[in-house]
A and B are shown apart, each in its own frame.
Chain A
Amino acid sequence: MAAEFVADGFCARKHPIWNPGDTRQKLYFNAEGVLAEYGEVDGVKLCHRIITPFTFFWSEKSFLLWQPCDTTMTCLKRSSIYSLDGGKVRAITEEFGMGFFLANRLSKQNIQNYRERSRDLSRLNPLERLEKTILANPHILNHLSRAEMASYLGLSRSSLFRAMNTLHRGS
């Protein structure tokens, strides 16, 4: 499967990989860069997730739920992107007798991520959310603006700044 991935080329900063309404039944691999996924509701754009270097990513709406994308995936730090078409993924998994093994694994991962994020939004205070995020991705503040970071954590900008000050004083 790894050999079948096709280089999509370099993705420049702020360049979108998909936009709302697109169909992207593809499995992607992000090499050295950083990407972010944004959702827009009533004109307000919020950051949903960050794609760290050397990880796979996909539009769950398109690749797993077979509906048009409802988010934007944008490059935050220039990266080489590789992709594998959904049809090829299906053909390869069929050839190796894997059936829906991969689709089930990816869905499971997405369900787990959303449950975790929903739980964090419900139970963690702003400081705890910030700490957890920085612990998981120490360079995140280099790539996201403060407004984007606040939206990712589900906070107002002032709450984020207060949490950052507390964290700074604490460390």
Chain B
Amino acid sequence: MRNDLLLGQPKNSTLKSLVHYVTSQFEGPLTISKGSELVVHGDASTHVYFLLDGTVAEIGRDDQGGLLIPTAFQAGQWFFNLQRHTTGKTAESPFVCVSSVQLMRLDQTIWEQLQTEPGCDELLFIIQQRILDHVRGHFRRLLHTSPLEHYRWITKESPALVKGFTRDQMAAYLGVSRATFFRLLQKV
């Protein structure tokens, strides 16, 4: 977690002591069982999470009741209630542990207090950089690659997703119907 925040920073970075202080405020490692919801529907929480192991996905439903999975996070990634963070509105979809997960959690009250500390806005920016890189990568793969190529990429680069997701969830993550995903599996 510390290394990730200090990645690319100069050795004598002034952020170093702040990073040590902020990361020491995280509780964990916490073990959360499969199926638990870290962010529930209508949630306004702003806790910060760092995943050590396992997979967490934002699992919602569209207007017709179909599964919708816009983001999934794996070990080594940061996340928080993205709907609340980006729009100020409460969460539309829960963040569900699709496998048993281990994570570090920074309580929203502490995080709120920390944000008044000088330099903490830079830490928030670094966390946002990681999240932006991640959601941007997923968007590009959705747009640029066929579902089959995308699935192959996931099996190679993110095997934990294949393990954690049900087939319906994987279809939703790839943005295809269940039937299309089953046809696609026959080609793999």
Given A41-B140, A100-B122, 16 additional A-B pairs, CB 8 A: A60-B136, A65-B133, A66-B8, A99-B118, A107-B129, A107-B132, A111-B82, A111-B86, A114-B136, A117-B139, A117-B143, A118-B138, A118-B142, A122-B68, A122-B173, A123-B66
Contact A118–B121 (Cβ < 8 Å): no
Residue A167 lies at the interface, judged by CB distance under 8 Å to chain B: no
Place the interface of chain B in its size category. 20 to 34
Contact A115–B82 (Cβ < 8 Å): yes
Residue A39 lies at the interface, judged by CB distance under 8 Å to chain B: yes
- B 121-140 to A, binary, CB cutoff 8 A, 1 in contact else 0: 11011001101110110111
What is the bound-complex CA distance between A95 and B130, given in angstroms? Answer: 27
Residue A54 lies at the interface, judged by CB distance under 8 Å to chain B: no
What is the bound-complex CA distance between A123 and B145, given in angstroms? Answer: 17
Quick one: closest B residue to A45, CB to CB?
A: B144
- A 84-99 to B, binary, CB cutoff 8 A, 1 in contact else 0: 0000000000000001
B78-123 residues at the A interface, CB under 8 angstroms: 82, 85-87, 118, 121-122
Contact B132–A110 (Cβ < 8 Å): yes
Residue B164 lies at the interface, judged by CB distance under 8 Å to chain A: no
| Known A-B contacts A44-B144, A118-B71, A121-B143; A104 and B121 likewise in contact (beta carbons under 8 Å) | yes
3 smallest CB-CB distances across A and B, nearest first, come from A122-B175, A112-B86, A107-B128
Q: From DSSP, what is the main secondary structure of chain B's interface residues?
A: helix
Residue B170 lies at the interface, judged by CB distance under 8 Å to chain A: no
CB distance from B138 to the nearest CB of A (A): 6
Contacts of A117 in B (CB 8 A): 139, 143
What is the bound-complex CA distance between A69 and B139, given in angstroms? Answer: 16
What is the bound-complex CA distance between A101 and B136, given in angstroms? Answer: 21
Q: Which residue of the partner chain, among B82, B87, B125, contacts A104 with CB atoms under 8 Å? A: B125
| Known A-B contacts A46-B144, A48-B143; A100 and B125 likewise in contact (beta carbons under 8 Å) | yes
Contact A64–B132 (Cβ < 8 Å): yes
Contacts of A46 in B (CB 8 A): 143-144
Residue B69 lies at the interface, judged by CB distance under 8 Å to chain A: yes
Quick one: closest B residue to A44, CB to CB?
A: B144
Contacts of B143 in A (CB 8 A): 39, 46, 48, 117, 121, 151, 154
Contact A65–B132 (Cβ < 8 Å): yes
CB distance from A49 to the nearest CB of B (A): 10
B123-173 residues at the A interface, CB under 8 angstroms: 124-125, 128-129, 131-133, 135-136, 138-140, 142-145, 172-173
Contact A115–B144 (Cβ < 8 Å): no
Quick one: closest B residue to A123, CB to CB?
A: B62
| Known A-B contacts A115-B71, A115-B82, A119-B70; A60 and B139 likewise in contact (beta carbons under 8 Å) | no
What is the bound-complex CA distance between A48 and B139, given in angstroms? Answer: 9
CB distance from B149 to the nearest CB of A (A): 9
Contacts of B69 in A (CB 8 A): 122
CB distance from A98 to the nearest CB of B (A): 9
Quick one: closest A residue to B66, CB to CB?
A: A123
Q: Counting chain A CB atoms within 10 Å of each CB, which of B118, B125, B140, B143 scores highest?
A: B143
Contact A121–B175 (Cβ < 8 Å): yes
Chosen A-B contacts, 13 in total, with CB atoms closer than 8 Å, are A48-B143, A65-B129, A66-B8, A99-B122, A104-B125, A107-B128, A108-B128, A110-B136, A111-B128, A118-B138, A122-B70, A123-B68, A151-B143
